[in-house]
Amino acid sequence: MKGGRNISIKNKLVIIQLFTSLIVLGLFVTAFLILDIRGYKRRRIETLQGLAEVIGTNAASTLQFQDNEAARLILKNLIQVSPRIASAVIYDRNGKTFASYQRTDRVHVPIPKNVSTSGALTVNKHLFVYRNIMGPDGVVGSIVVESELIDLYSLNREKYIVTAILVCFAILLSLIIAWIIQSFISRRLVNLSNTMQTATETGDYNTMINDEGKDEIGILSQSFNRLMAQVRENQRRKDEFIAVASHELKTPLTSIKGYIEFFKLLTTNDQNKTVINKALANVEKLERLIKDLLDVSKIQSGQLELTLEEFDICELITETIGSWELLSPHHRIRFNGIKGKCLIRADKNRIEQVFMNLISNAIKYSPGESEVIVTISNSAKETVITVRDFGIGIPEGEEEAIFERFYRTANVTEHISGFGLGLYICKNIVGKHGGRIWVHKESKGCTFHVAFPLVTDSSPIKNKLSSKYN
Ligand code: ADP
């Protein structure tokens, strides 16, 4: 039964309809055949009984006068005019054979010895009908008339063939009807399940189902719409909270940072300086988080603006690597550039933010490793920059999820700090430039790829984009 869960509703409906039709048809055909065969036999018995009656009446006097020859003649004449009769036997009062006659082509079946009373018996497709022969003083003998039922069986075979053809035709018809009917029921269910799946996979909770039905599917669809509305409302409140909280935190944090830097300038004591530096590092960490949260709010509200300019991305990456070499001198960041300039049209600060984040991740998620390789190459349509590290890598199946908001892989959540916002912001920045970002798993570590369209006169990006993100 459990396997049935994997069969689609569509197919289940068709199977149910098919089985119901088969059972009804089967019962109907069986009942029809049984009644038909019984009716045929009854009619045949009645006919034979009538014949036996007539012969009996005619043969009564031959029995009285012990005229076997005359009795045999009566039987012979009967069989000749009635081809369905295979044989007939007249017994005397003591049950001894008095006269008999049989067709020459009769299939031999021993005639069951019957008894006095009238009745009928079927043995091996042969029907035997018995009748007492009455004289003036009562029973003088008996007669048995045999008829072959071969024709009944051949007739039935024909009926079986016709019935089988009709049943096949009816099954086909019921399959077609089931297929048409199921689409009325399953279409709405399939639509509901597809919409739910899309909403789960894409995280787009604006999806609605247009189903005003009053049945269970209609109720399910309306409940789904209400659930989506609740999710949207909760998300809106969460986004609003993040936006307000990060705005409210930004100003006090800036002044705290200012005070700490002021104290740093005043103090000459080395011990105090160490404490102040630690405080400053933590404030900067908070500052980065608030900056990321503000970016997320901008993305969510469609207010992330780009100031486009044409610049050499090779130069920008060289500068970014230079900054990282100062920040993290233990790491060796190799750059495989290309000869000449590599112009792209983009927001320079935002692109720098993307590569700062990718290189920062490459260092952060490669504990114990010191090498990071950055490459740049041009294809026919794109400029592709890769950032390769030899660190912990991305677990199987999470390559897409890491670009979602607040997503962190299971292998880092406990021991490497982070908020799961950097790649989400990167993806949105790159996307807004008409580019692509993706990650490849390596045998050790991973490679992030960023592709920007080459600058052409027909580049789709216009200066100062501020349209809402999709
Ligand atoms: P954060 O690093 O603050 O957690 P990101 O959005 O930059 O946020 O990264 C999201 C997640 O992707 C990280 O938590 C980590 O699980 C994974 N990740 C990103 N870069 C790498 C990398 N170079 N190597 C391994 N995992 C990475």
What is the spatial distance between Cα 88 and Cα 69, in angstroms, rounded to a whole number? 14
Given this model, what pLDDT does residue 117 score? 59
- Of 67, 65, 127, 77, the closest CA to residue 99 belongs to 67
Residue with tokens 């012969």: 55
| Residue 295: closest CA among 461, 450, 427 | 427
Cα-trace Rg, the chain? 49
388-402 confidence digits (pLDDT tens): 999 999 999 999 999
Cβ 56 vs Cβ 132: under 8 Å: yes
Give the containing element (helix H, strand E) for 96.
Answer: none
Q: How far apart are the first and last CA of the chain?
A: 44
Nearest atom, ligand 1, residue 392 CA: 25
The reported pLDDT for the residue numbered 334 is: 94
Mean pLDDT for the chain overall = 86
Residue 467: what pLDDT? 39
What integer pLDDT is reported at residue 2 of this predicted model?
A: 56
Q: How close is the Cα of 408 to the center of ligand 1, in Å?
A: 6
If you average pLDDT over residues 8-32, what whole number do you get? Answer: 84
For residues 147-154, give the mean pLDDT: 76
Chain position carrying tokens 């199977």: 15
DSSP state of 85: E
Atom of ligand 1 nearest to the CA of 411: 16
Looking at this protein, which amino acid is placed at residue 399?
A: E
**Tens of pLDDT, residues 186-215:** 888 888 888 999 888 887 888 888 888 888
The pLDDT value recorded for residue 411 is: 83
Atom 11 (ligand 1) nearest CA: 408
**Residue 380 has what pLDDT?**
81
The C-alpha atoms of residue 370 and residue 332 are separated, in whole angstroms, by 6
Q: How confident is the model at residue 464 (pLDDT cuts 50, 70, 90)?
A: very low
Separation of alpha carbons 182 and 20, rounded Å = 14
pLDDT of residue 261: 93
Q: How far is the CA of 103 from the centre of ligand 1 (A)?
A: 100
Q: Give me the pLDDT at residue 468, please.
A: 37
C-alpha 365 – ligand 1 centre gap (Å): 7
424 close to 403: Cβ distance less than 8 angstroms: yes
Task: Please give all residues whose beta carbon lies within 6 A of any atom in ligand 1, as ranges.
Answer: 357, 361-362, 365, 389, 391-394, 402, 407-409, 412, 418-424, 446
Q: Identify the burial level of 426 via C-beta atoms within 10 angstroms of its C-beta, where 0-12 means exposed, 13-18 middle and 19 or more buried.
A: buried
Measured from the Cα of 409, ligand 1's closest atom is 16
Output the residue whose Cα is nearest ligand 1's atom 19. Answer: 361
For residue 249, the CA-to-ligand 1 centroid distance in Å is: 25
pLDDT tens for 351-384 read 999 999 999 999 999 998 989 999 999 888 889 9
| Site to substitute for ligand 1 among 360, 365, 398, most atoms within 8 A of C-beta | 365
The share of the chain scoring above pLDDT 70, in percent, equals: 94
Contact 147, 130 (CB under 8 A): no
CA 314, chain centre distance (Å):
48
Residue nearest atom 20 in ligand 1 by C-alpha distance: 361
For residue 215, which amino acid is it? Answer: D
Element (H, E) at 252: helix 216-266
Is the pLDDT at 10 greater than 90, yes or no? no
Contact of 405 with 416, CB cutoff 8 Å: no
311 strand-pairing partners? 344
Statement: residue 466 has pLDDT above 50: no
- What's the CA-to-centroid distance between 306 and ligand 1, angstroms? 24
Higher pLDDT residue, 109 or 426? 426
With a cut of 70, say whether residue 456 has pLDDT above it. Answer: no
Statement: residue 153 has pLDDT above 60 = yes
- Residue 116: is its pLDDT beyond 60? no
- Minimal-distance CA residue to ligand 1 atom 14: 408
- Residues 360, 325: contact at Cβ < 8 Å? no
The DSSP code sequence of 1-55 is -GGGGGS-HHHHHHHHHHHHHHHHHHHHHHHHHHHHHHHHHHHHHHHHHHHHHHH
Strands 332-336 and 371-378: parallel
Q: How far is the CA of 362 from the centre of ligand 1 (A)?
A: 8
Residue from 295, 423, 441, 448 to probe ligand 1 pocket by mutation (most atoms less than 8 Å from CB): 423
Q: What is the pLDDT of residue 458?
A: 53
Residue 394 CA, ligand 1 centroid: distance in Å:
8
Minimal-distance CA residue to ligand 1 atom 23: 362
Strands 446-453 and 436-441, how do they pair? antiparallel
C-beta atoms surrounding 66 within 10 Å: 10
Most confident of 177-186, 194-203, 256-265, 336-345: 256-265
Q: What is the mean pLDDT of residues 443-450?
A: 96
What average pLDDT score do residues 321-349 get? 89
Mean pLDDT calculated for residue range 91-118: 79
Distance (Å) from CA 208 to ligand 1 centroid: 33
Angstrom distance (rounded) from CA 179 to CA 156: 34
| pLDDT score, position 188 | 86
Does the pTM of the predicted model rise above 0.75?
no
Q: Give 98-137 as a DSSP string.
A: EEEEE-TTPPP-PPP---SS-EEEEETTEEEEEEEEEETT
**Is pLDDT at 131 greater than 60 in this prediction?**
yes
pLDDT at 460 over 90: no
Per the model's pLDDT, the better-predicted residue between 389 and 122 turns out to be 389
Ligand 1: residue whose CA is nearest its atom 12: 402
User: Which residues face 387 on adjacent strands?
Assistant: 374, 448
- In the block, tokens 């590290």 appear at 389
Q: What is the pLDDT of residue 470?
A: 35
pLDDT attached to residue 226: 94
Query: Which atom of ligand 1 is nearest the CA belonging to 393?
Result: 25
pLDDT of residue 4: 66
| Separation between Cα atoms, residue 308 and residue 463, nearest integer Å | 5
CB 90 within 8 A of CB 131: no
Which pair of structure tokens corresponds to residue 167? 């049943």
Tell me how far apart the alpha carbons of residues 14 and 7 are, in angstroms, rounded to a whole number: 11
